[in-house]
Amino acid sequence: MRLVLLCATVVLLGCSLNTPVRASDRPNVLIVTVDDMSCDSIGVFGCPVPETTPAIDAFAKTALRFTKAHVLVGNCMPGRNLMWSGLYSHVNGVEGFRQNPEPDYPVLCDLAKDAGYFTAIRGKVNHSTPYTPYAWDAVLDTDADGKKYGVKDVESYGKSTRDAIRLSKQSGKPFCLMVNISDPHKPFYSQGFKEGKSDPNVPSKVFTADEVVVPGFLFDDPVVRDELALYYSSVRRADDCFATVMDALQQEGAAEETMVMFLSDHGMPLPFAKTQLYHHSTHTPLMVRWPGKTEPGSIDDQHMVSAIDFLPTLIDVMGMSHPTPDRLHGQSFAPALTGQSVDGFGYVIKQYNENSGRWRQPMRGIQTSQWLYLYNPWSDGKRIFSTATNGTNTARRMAVLARSNPNIQRRHDIYQHRTVEELYFVSNDPDCRVNLLEHPTADRAKVQQTVDKLREQLAMELERIQDPVAPLVRDVENAQLRQQYMQRQDQFGDQLRGKKRKRANQKKSSTKAG
């Protein structure tokens, strides 16, 4: 149970931070993320659609696979900043798609540089640090002539990887390289092109509607199948990108000296996945290959690690120091990489605050290997949840079918309004279809006992990290307290959107003046 503040272990491996660091002293680190990919879209994580990820599946045979790993929020910029700061969003200041221009904490880039690493990034640059431009040694989004790479350009990811490795060799330092693959983030393969134009970035396999399997949290319909076919084609293109990254690592002779960490930032960009805290929103396909340390093809189904633990773990692996280690919210699972058991990984705490439009609709959650409890203080039966998936064909189709189909109408109502509390037995219901707090045949005594325990654990953890939602979880029946809290959130959101409109107007004025 994570009820103590983390004291990060600093593993210097005999190296002073003031002396040059050789690649042989500590591993290079390559972090590869895919964007908006559900965990079970990958073959080795149980994808029901064949041939979605041959390259990633091949990598899995050489790596350690975590079956219970989670990110902690279902949208990109706050999720990535949580990962690489080791701090929840209300502390790191990146609660939505807004920069924090004056952070009072270091992030992975800073710590790696201080430890003697060459730092580089490709993709999602403005989402991976509290503000941009940030002090990376190299940003690899352009070719040698300065032309910007297309984010869906498969071969460019291999080129960026080779460039980073060669630059690190020139610097005489090991590298800390983050390669953020854009797929399968929307627009999906073949979308967004004018009539007569086709997508030049064709996946190595294009899926058809009759080949896909509809996830249990959605509904079977031709429109949904068509969109899923584009999604899985984009998953395959992400796999193609990953293959070029791994090929570059091998071709540059760096594979045996490099720890590779692979994950997705959150679930697929369709209803009940992205911009949510459900199981398929946060379950991430975390794999780590550390030559000589991790056992090839091994599986960790014991530790429920999460995004908040990534930075503490890398501090141990890379021999980095932290000026305020007791401030980090997670803990290192570095011993688990070598097959050891580590206490304190029995559940994860999830946190959502704000979408890209700056609508404040906070949610909190706690998930164990069996249960998921969600708390939604914004839900009052009237507010409509503002999610990034509203613009999808699937969401639009659901709205149309809800007018005549009672089952879809009930799902659409949940999608829009939710309830204040949700409880799911995720070991049997990973699609989160049955909220046991509202199910008429549920064992009321068992449900109450379970929700009381989870609510207490959640409240204790939110208090530990000084989350302002903690008092609401403690007093969950107090509707007035919840209403007052949401009034303040509404006022804050109105202020944020006002500032955004003001900046947009200023930009228009400047353009006209120019």
pLDDT score recorded for residue 426:
98
Residue-level length of the chain: 514
Taking the model in full, what pTM does it have? 0.92
392-402 pLDDT per residue, tens = 999 999 999 99
For residue 323, whether the previous peptide bond is cis, meaning omega lies within 30 degrees of 0, is: no
Asked whether the beta carbons of 206 and 188 are under 8 A apart, the reply is no
Q: How far apart are CA 389 and CA 368, in angstroms?
A: 26
Q: Could you report the per-residue pLDDT of 98-143, keeping only the tens digit for each?
A: 999 999 999 999 999 999 999 999 999 999 999 999 999 999 999 9
Q: What is the per-residue pLDDT across 274-304, written as a single tens digit (0 to 9) for each?
A: 999 999 999 999 999 999 999 999 999 999 9
Residues with Cβ within 8 Å of 462's Cβ and at least 6 positions away in sequence, in order, are: 349, 364, 469, 470, 473
Is residue 12 predicted with pLDDT exceeding 50? no
* Band of pLDDT at residue 513, cut at 50, 70 and 90: very low
Supply the pLDDT for residue 502: 61
Nearest-angstrom CA–CA distance, 119 and 113:
7
Mean pLDDT of 202-222: 98
Nearest partner of 310 among 130, 25, 80, judged by Cα: 80
Name the token pair of 224: 């949904």
Q: Per the structure block, which two tokens stand in for 512?
A: 């006209």
Query: What mean pLDDT, rounded, does the chain reach?
Result: 92
CB 119 within 8 A of CB 113: yes
Higher pLDDT among residues 11 and 66, named by residue: 66
pLDDT digits (tens, 9 = 90+) for 147-201: 999 999 999 999 999 999 999 999 999 999 999 999 999 999 999 898 889 999 9
DSSP state of 93: S
Compute the average pLDDT of residues 2-29: 43
**Domains of the chain as residue ranges with CATH:** 28-338 (3.40.720.10), 352-491 (no CATH)
Which residues does 38 contact at the CB level (< 8 Å), separation at least 6? Answer: 215, 264, 267, 268, 273, 280, 283
**Calpha distance 427→441 (Å, rounded):** 18
DSSP string, 261-292: EEEESSS-SSTTTTTS-SHHHHB---EEE-TT
Please tell me which residue, 348 or 506, carries the higher pLDDT value: 348
Helices H, strands E: what count in the chain?
13, 12
Q: How confident is the model at residue 511 (pLDDT cuts 50, 70, 90)?
A: very low
pLDDT in tens, 222-240: 999 999 999 999 999 999 9
* Cβ contact 475:96 at 8 Å: no
Q: What is the DSSP letter of 321?
A: -
CA dist 184 and 47 (Å) reads 15
Asked whether 310 and 464 are in contact (CB, 8 A), the reply is: no
pLDDT in tens, 17-73: 333 333 345 899 999 999 999 999 999 999 999 999 999 999 999 999 999 999 999
pLDDT of residue 146: 94
DSSP string for residues in 38-79 = -GGGSGGGT-SSTTS-HHHHHHHTTSEEETT-B-S-SSHHHH
Average pLDDT over residues 464-475: 97
